[in-house]
Amino acid sequence: MQQMPSIPPDALEVHRERVAGSWNILDGGVLVAAGLPVPIAGTDGCHDFHVHGDHFYLTGMNVPGQVLAFDPDDGFTFFARMSASDDRVWEGSPPSLDTVRGWTGLERVFPREALFAWIEARRQNPIAVLGNRDILTSPAGYEVPELDELWLTEDTGRTARLAHHIAAARRVKDPAELKVMRDSAAACRAGHLRAMRMATQGMTERELAVEIEAEFRRRGARRPAYHTIVAAGRNGAVLHCTPTDKPFRNGELVTVDAGAEVDGYMSDVTRSFPVSGVFTPEQRDIYSLLLAVQEAAVNTVRPGVEFRELHLMVCVELARGLVDLGILTGAPESLVERDAHALFFPHGLGHMIGIATHDVGGYLADRQPSDRFGLKWLRMDQPLKPGHVVTIEPGLYFIEALLTDSKRREEFADAVNFDAAERLLDFGGIRIEDDVICTEDEPEVLTAGIPKTIDDLEAACR
Ligand code: GLY
Ligand code: MN
Ligand code: MN
């Protein structure tokens, strides 16, 4: 059931003013739907409900089937779900309209049955459909009759333009949002500390994931921010490894990529540490390389820095380290130009984070992801600004699928010592990920309290 939003009404009002100001529309209107529960096929159950981020950003509400509407004459109007008495038996009673007004700061709050009239009154005018577009395909879920002609006035060009503006507004987090993100980071820290304390030979990836997620929830999380990754040994080279029943063995590294959702805001952190609690000399060498590069990248988060350039700088430094380790041969800059480093660091340096783990607005509207091997999984391309919150998450992996690929072996025969790389398949992979606020000055690392130096990790594992 909906509880009082953690973002106060005056901050929600600022979100709405910022967005409506950038929309600058003179006629017609906008719908921003929360979304409907997604049924689990073949059952009478539904997946856990995830409200659309744009609806949440503007209202703080996370109830399925509600709609925020906007038009230039009346401004914002909220259509609240008023449960039938049978629904109240199963789901409890929704907040009253006055409660919704108090929580959201919205004045125009009506029962949802009034939504259809609002749409009908604007039938001949251009409407943008933002939020969850299931309102187009399942209008009955919003108490709007299925009428073929109902949606003919959607102006898809307007929808695209307005969606871009709301994504731009969501990029810069305000103090109320940052406060919640600090709470999310604190829950995240507790889960990671528990993982370091609990991991031991014989325990499985899945058992450790349960410990982490339980700790998140004890610290106020509603749920994990995304599917928790726990990967030991070779599994560490699987970027989004779903935890398995594989028991940990001393000598292996465990990579935990886990974040919490607290009051609608996400954290996203990765740490790699030894099952035994002590790094082997080889693990130390590779880990130290990654840590030095990650810390340098975090300290480079400053206004004006192009994230793509930062990504490429990290690639060069990782390539330099791999040359020193005898895995790559050549000048680091040229290795990166031909994407040889991407065999060992195929993903991007990071992404924006906020209401979504991979938050909206990563690319400026006039920039597109590259199809280059070393850039195609980069989720962000824009200059950093104060208020941006980004992850910085370089990794180093020895990925069987890449190292045994005959085309790549041929292409990179002169650049990669494949024998040396293959000897590290059991090393798996490591990643270090923090959530970082770009400020006017020094970056603020939301997740700084989570151990990541070798000494701190070994102490936390004890
Ligand atoms: N856990 C997903 C990511 O790091 O992007
Ligand atoms: Mn991430
Ligand atoms: Mn992550």
Whole-angstrom Cα distance, residue 442 to residue 33? 38
Residues of the chain with pLDDT under 70: 147-152
SS (H, E, C) 5-55: CCCCHHHHHHHHHHHHHHHCCCCCEEEEECCCCCECCCCCCECCCCCCHHH
C-alpha closest to that of 386 among 461, 347, 437, 436: 437
Distance 393 CA to ligand 3 centre (A): 7
Closest residue CA from atom 3 of ligand 1: 268
d(CA 311, ligand 2 centre) in Å = 14
- What is the distance in A from the centroid of ligand 2 to the CA of 270? 8
What is the model's pTM? 0.96
**Closest ligand 1 atom, CA of 226?**
1
Long-range contacts of 80-89 (CB under 8 A, 24+ apart): 80/109, 80/110, 80/111, 80/112, 81/112, 82/111, 82/112, 82/113
Report the alpha-carbon distance of residue 135 to residue 452 in Å, rounded: 45
User: Other CB atoms closer than 10 Å to residue 124's CB: what's the count?
Assistant: 9
Closest to 314 (Cα-Cα) out of 432, 426, 235: 432
Ligand 2 centroid–CA 323 distance in Å is 26
Number of H helices and E strands in the chain, helices first, is 16, 16
Q: What is the pLDDT of residues 395-447, one digit of tens each?
A: 999 999 999 999 999 999 999 999 999 999 999 999 999 999 999 999 999 99
Pocket test for ligand 1, best of 311, 358, 378, 432 (most atoms within 8 A of CB): 358
Give the span between the Cα atoms of 265 and 223, in whole angstroms: 11
Q: Atom of ligand 1 at shortest distance to CA of 270?
A: 4
Q: Got the DSSP string for 189-238?
A: HHHHHHHHHH--TT-BHHHHHHHHHHHHHHTT-SEESS--EEEEGGGGGS
The CA distance from 301 to 256, in Å, is 24
Q: How many other C-beta atoms are found inside a 10 Å radius of the C-beta of residue 279?
A: 20
Alpha carbon nearest to ligand 1 atom 5, residue: 358
> How many angstroms separate the alpha carbon of residue 268 from the centre of ligand 1?
6
Q: Exposed e or buried b for every residue in 7-16, given b needs 16+ CB within 10 A?
A: bbbebbebbb
CA 81, CA 63: separation in Å to the nearest integer? 8
Amino acid at 416: V
Question: Number of C-alpha atoms within 13 angstroms, CB side, residue 414?
Answer: 5
Asked if residue 131 lies in contact with residue 36, where contact means CB atoms within 8 angstroms, the answer is: no
pLDDT for the residue 146? 75
- CA atoms within a 13 Å half-sphere pointing along the CA-CB vector of 225: 27
Which atom in ligand 1 lies closest to the alpha carbon of residue 225?
1
User: Of 97, 53, 50, 57, which Cα lies nearest the Cα of 78?
Assistant: 97
CA of 295 to the centre of ligand 2 (A): 16
> Across the strands, what pairs with 328?
416
In 3D, which of 32, 394, 440, 355 has the Cα closest to residue 171?
355
Write down the domain spans for the chain: 9-171, 175-461
Q: Which architecture does CATH list for 9-171?
A: 3-Layer(aba) Sandwich (3.40)
User: Can you give the pLDDT at residue 83?
Assistant: 83
Residue 277 tokens, joined: 């609690």
Mutate to test the pocket of ligand 1, among 229, 266, 268, 390 (most ligand atoms within 8 A of CB): 268
Per-residue model confidence (pLDDT) at position 294: 98
Alpha-carbon distance values, 361 to 143, 245, 327, 440 (Å): 31, 37, 36, 20
Q: How far is the CA of 69 from the centre of ligand 2 (A)?
A: 32
Do 269 and 193 touch, CB atoms closer than 8 A?
no
| Residues facing residue 266 across a β-bridge | 261
Amino acid 147: pLDDT:
63
Phi-psi group of 131: left, alpha or beta (phi > 0 → left; psi -120 to 50 → alpha; rest → beta): left
With a CB cutoff of 8 Å and minimum separation 6, the contacts of 88 are: none
Ligand nearest to the CA of 226: 1
CATH superfamily of 175-461: Creatinase/methionine aminopeptidase superfamily (3.90.230.10)
User: Nearest residue CA, atom 4 of ligand 1?
Assistant: 268
* Lining residues, ligand 1, CB within 6 Å: 226, 257, 268, 357, 393, 433
Pocket test for ligand 1, best of 347, 357, 389, 430 (most atoms within 8 A of CB): 357
**Residue 218 neighbours by CB under 8 Å, 6+ apart:** 190
406 with 212: CB under 8 angstroms?
no
Torsion of CA 393, 398, 403, 408, to 10 degrees: 20
Q: Which amino acid is at 103?
A: W
Contacts of 319 (CB under 8 A, 6+ apart): 328, 332, 335, 336, 340, 341
Dist. CA 431 → ligand 3 center (Å): 9
